[in-house]
Structures are given as structure tokens and as C-alpha cells.
Amino acid sequence: MSALLRNSIWSSFPVRFLKQQAGLSTVELLDPRSCGKRHFTTQVQEHGKEVAAAATILVFDLETTGYFHKDHRIVEFALCDLSGGKNSTFETLVNPERTVPDYVEHLIKIGTDLVCRPGIPRFSDVIPLLLAFVRSRQAPGKPVLWVAHNAKQFDARFLAQEFDRCSAPLPADWLFFDTLLLAKKMVKAEGKKRRTSLEALREHYGIVSHDDAHRAMRDVMILSQVFQKMTFDLKLTNEELINEAMKAISNSSLNQREKKFRCLGVENELLLVSIKR
């Protein structure tokens, strides 16, 4: 990734942001500079009491044209700020500038005709709006913890690839947390054998979903609940998660390729992914 942020990323033209709900879409033109800076402190429940979190926690999910590969692209992106409040979610369809395979359309209900049409933004259009949204939610002086299920092999890699393709470095204070390995840690602690997929965790915690399609915001809403329940079960505070992430980064010795995409093991089981400039 380039060490310099392109001047064009905050260009004056508005980008198209597609707010999509349950398959019904509306398009709103927004200028990334129109998002006012708001200071939020994420609140979490720690064993019955409310405490301030050490970071802004964003649960995110994305849908793509296939498994991670340089030829595959993002077709839908969604996130939710766990601090809640007004405008705490962000979601958009994305024009992948390529066809969507039939098997993918069958699984996620997103086809070429839906995303490869006028009015659907390319990821280069989404980046400035996404950066503005995150900055508007970020607590002063605190990092942003991006949470996804299978982040190491899928979501974080795709996001890094798209930023790299658009010559836009990811902010240095973004950390990526993989809940799949957190789930494996929990299963090991219980001494039981069971699946660790997001759907299996949803069923385990009795989380109701009325939509079977694997859409980005649907999975974000499920993971938001799963993540909080798992961290509670494992008695992990958000401060502890961030401290472990920062400790791993400061103690790591990385080659040039790893500096571009960092996969850091914490206690051999809790994986934190940090993507730096």
C-alpha cells in the first residue's frame, strides 16, 4: 500500500451511497465532508456493570464475488458501531466491475444485474464516505477495532485488497479482530466439540433471524450479538482485547510483506489482524 494518502480521496464530488434494506434500495447523494465529527465512547457490559471501552468497536461483514482472490471483488459492505445511537450503521451495495457467478447469486441473492448498473458505487467511491463515517464515530485518541467472523481469511483480506487496489492506505489505528478464533477458544475452554460457524453460534445463543439469505447487514446484526456474548462468556473486556492487540504489534518483528498485512497471534488462539501503512 502506498504510504501517502491520495489527495483525491477527499475530492469535492459527491459519491453515491446506497442504503439497502431487505432488498429494497434507495440512493442518497452524500459529500464525505458533510459528516460532522461526533465523539462517542463505546459502552459495554462487564459482568453486570457498564464500562467505557478502550476503542470504537465496529462489527462488519461483506459479500463478494467469490473466495479471496485478486480477481474477486466486494459486492456488499455493512457495519454497525456497537456504541449504538443515531446513524450507527453503514451499508451499501458495491459495483464489482465484473460479473457475479451464478452460485454466488444463489447464496447471497445478489446478482450481476443488481450491482453492475448505474447508481451503484464502485469501491473507490465508497472509501471516502466510509472513512468519514468511521471518523465521525471514533473516540478521540482511541483505535478502531473492526470485528468480523473469519476476518483473517476473508473480510479483512478483501478490505485490505480493495484499499490497496484504490491506492488508499488503511488508517494506522485500525485493528481487525477475528471472532472465528475467539469461538474456537471458547469451544476449547468448554471442552466440547461443536461447530464454530456464525450460523452455529447464532443457534447456540438462541438468536432469532427471519432472513436465511447471507446478506451483509443480516450477518452484522447476528455477529454483534454473538461477539458480545462470547466476550462475556470468556470474561474478556474490550480493554484487554485492545491491550493484547497493541502488545502484539509492538513486540512483532515483521518483514516488508507482513508490514503490508499483519496477522498477529495472541496467546496462540486469539487472532488480531492489524493492517498498517
**Residues that are catalytic:** 214
How far from chain centre, in Å, is Cα 137?
Answer: 14
| Distance of alpha carbon 237 from alpha carbon 45, whole angstroms | 9
CA 261 vs. chain centroid, Å, equals 15
Instruction: Give how far Cα 276 sits from Cα of 41, 77, 166, 211, Å.
Output: 23, 21, 15, 36
Other residues' Cβ atoms within 10 Å of the Cβ of residue 151: 25
Q: What distance in Å separates the CA atoms of residue 171 and residue 162, rounded to the nearest whole number?
A: 14
Cα–Cα dist 116/97, whole Å: 7
Kindly report the backbone phi and psi dihedral angles of residue 92, in degrees, each rounded to the nearest multiple of 5, phi listed first.
Answer: -160, 145
Based on the number of CB atoms within 10 Å of its own CB, is 145 exposed (0-12), middle (13-18) or buried (19 or more)?
buried
- Closest to 58 (Cα-Cα) out of 171, 162, 205: 171
* 50 phi, psi to nearest 5 deg: -90, 130
| Secondary structure (H, E, C), 85-109 | CCCCEEEEECECCCCCCHHHHHHHC
DSSP for 224-248, please give it.
HHHHHHHHHHTT--HHHHHHHHHHH
Nearest in space to 158 (alpha carbons), one of 57, 258, 64, 271: 64
